Amino acid sequence: MLADTVEIVASGKPEKMDNSIYLKSIFQLSQAQSMLQRGDSPSNVFKTLYQSNIQASMRGVGYISLPYNMIKFKTWKHYGSAFFFDVGNSVLSETYMKMALQENEGTMDDKEKLYLMASDMHYTNGNHSLAMEYLQGFAALYPDQTTMSLPWKQAFLKVQAQLDPANALQNTLDGQLNQLDLLQPENRQRYFEALHRQAEDCVAREDYETALHILKESHEALKEAGDGSLLAKNLTLRAHLYMNNEKVETAIEILEESLAMCKQAHDAFNYYRTTIELANGYLKLSNDTEKALYLIECSTPNILLLDSQELIREMNVVYAKALKAHKEKQTLTT
């Protein structure tokens, strides 16, 4: 529970500081996070972020720097180089993550979110050992909390499945933990993420009919919730299923909708994932190697700046396929 005032010591003289500055800063950080999820313009999000930090910094109010740096990390990671051409956003996002990790102040909840975010960052980049180190680091700081934390357990099992697939508990405990999220629809963000993971699991098991049913059912709800990033992921996975089922024209229509959604939500990662899938679609539909190569080659610098090994691998597979098809096409015409 917060006290009525926060005591700040400056030049050896204690001053009484009303908690309104702290509460206002936290409110503005929450606003920035909501704007980020809605896909508001980068300038508005950054303006709100800077406003939240100025007053707190000037008056020396504590416990703001950690959540501030965490949201700055998420902001730069989300927007990406598609909208800031001269800046390597992966460097900036990782810098804010390092700054957050160096903060001594912070609640246990904030620390948990921080270590989970750091772990997920390295997991996405393919560094599973380092991802596990951050999870174990939080467990060492707060051993009691990890026994009760559902997000920590889910993250741990996800990383463990990559490090030790032969002994992973993916089909037992992880599935049960995912079900707990599905039973809590009031937590909209995690509920939709759990639904999407369930669809991905169905795809992995080659149960495409169930996966498509889940994606279609959640599509309208996602549109109503206004979550552009999750909606784009939903559309891209649906398109992938149609593509594999040789319904290429339908897949391309969905991918074009997804591309517009990503742009509207300023979501760089899913924008380029959709672009790669779209290039693959043009190859399948009409062997349009020129269009496929154009899409991949225009996107390559920004995909590299995102520094995602997963995305780079996907790009290389489609690019190699397009180059081979283009060479065969040229051979036939000569």
pLDDT tens-place string over residues 248-264:
999 999 999 999 988 88
Predicted confidence (pLDDT) at residue 94 exceeds the cutoff of 60: yes
- 24: tokens are 């206002």
Q: Which residues contact 334 (CB under 8 A, 6 or more apart)?
A: none
What are 180-211's pLDDT values in tens digits?
A: 555 565 567 777 888 888 888 889 888 898 89
**pLDDT attached to residue 297:** 94
Q: In terms of pLDDT, which residue wins out, 212 or 145? A: 212
> Per-residue confidence at 178, pLDDT binned at 50, 70, 90?
low
Predicted confidence (pLDDT) at residue 299 exceeds the cutoff of 50: yes
Q: How far is CA 17 from CA 7, 14, 35, in A?
A: 6, 10, 29
**pLDDT attached to residue 11:** 39
How far apart are the C-alpha atoms of 85 and 83, rounded to whole Å?
6
- 100: tokens are 């957050």
- Other beta carbons within 10 angstroms of residue 32's beta carbon come to 26
**pLDDT attached to residue 282:** 93
**pLDDT attached to residue 320:** 95
Predicted confidence (pLDDT) at residue 44 exceeds the cutoff of 70: yes
* pLDDT averaged over every residue in the chain: 81
Mean pLDDT of 49-61: 75
**pLDDT attached to residue 274:** 94
> Per-residue confidence at 167, pLDDT binned at 50, 70, 90?
low
**pLDDT attached to residue 181:** 59
Q: In terms of pLDDT, which residue wins out, 226 or 100? A: 100
Q: In terms of pLDDT, which residue wins out, 18 or 110? A: 110
Q: Which of 55-69, 131-145, 225-239 has the lowest mean pLDDT?
A: 55-69
Mean pLDDT of 105-129: 89
**Amino acid symbol at 181:** D
Mean pLDDT of 79-103: 69
How far apart are the C-alpha atoms of 169 and 148, rounded to whole Å?
18
- Kindly state the percentage of the chain with pLDDT values over 90: 27
φ/ψ bin of 284: left (φ > 0), alpha (ψ from -120 to 50), beta (otherwise): alpha
Predicted confidence (pLDDT) at residue 171 exceeds the cutoff of 60: no
The torsion angles phi and psi of 62, rounded to 5 degrees, stand at: -85, 175
- 114: tokens are 């921080």
Predicted confidence (pLDDT) at residue 176 exceeds the cutoff of 90: no
> Per-residue confidence at 135, pLDDT binned at 50, 70, 90?
very high
Give the range with max mean pLDDT: 15-19, 239-243, 283-287.
239-243
Helix (H, G, I), strand (E, B) or coil at 274: helix
**Amino acid symbol at 314:** E
Element (H or E) spanning 257, and its range?
helix 248-265
**pLDDT attached to residue 65:** 83
